A = this chain, B = another copy of it.
Amino acid sequence: MTTTENPIRNGVDTATLFATLDAVKGDPEIAKFQFRATNRWVSGTHNQSTIHGFHGAKQEMAHRVPFTFDADHPPVLVGTDNGPTPVEYVLHALAACLTAGIANVAAARGVNLTEVSSTVEGDIDLLGILGLSDEVRNGYQGIRVSFTLRGDDPEKLRKVVEQSRRRSAVFDVVTNGVPVSIDVDAG
């Protein structure tokens, strides 16, 4: 196990982080994860997902509680605003992944953080999803993330963000795309 003078930095248990890296190096099968969400339609554009169990480290695991999230459309998009739109959750996921990575990378490098905040903006032209233009894509045309970081040397902080981007799962998904299959039981 790698040791460190200050095992907790930025709230990250770096001793456990390095021990986890060592464990995965010893048995790469530990790193194969499957995450899941279940969703049920409520009414109109309102639906609710539950996130609880997942597979990882060669076993079935679960979050300490089931997390539930409502999604809906606002009235301007003919919904009842019981939650954010699905596309807004994508922006949250992107910010959250990059921010968690920033905390981990900074801790691993011995860089102290006092603030990490961000705003994510996504531009979307609804002519696509409304079926009113075949030339406009359905999804975001572009997403901008603006980070504010405070802590140690600014140049170190910028390099931490760059490394987080290079190792972010959601950044990869959102920029490069993933194959998605859809099965339907319409019994």
Give the B-binding residues of A (Cβ under 8 A): 10-13, 16-17, 20-21, 24-25, 28, 31-47, 49, 51, 54, 56-57, 61, 63-64, 67, 69, 71-74, 76-79, 81, 83-104, 107, 113, 115-133, 137-150, 154-155, 157-158, 161, 165, 167-187
Of B34, B115, B122, the residue contacting A121 (CB under 8 A) is B34
Chain B residues, CB < 8 A from A139: 169-173, 176, 178
Main secondary structure of the interface of A (DSSP, over half): mixed
Q: Known contacts A41-B113, A54-B74, A89-B96; can you find 19 more A-B pairs with CB under 8 A?
A: A12-B78, A32-B123, A34-B123, A37-B95, A40-B117, A41-B103, A44-B107, A51-B84, A67-B83, A71-B100, A129-B167, A130-B167, A137-B172, A140-B173, A147-B183, A148-B187, A158-B184, A165-B182, A174-B178
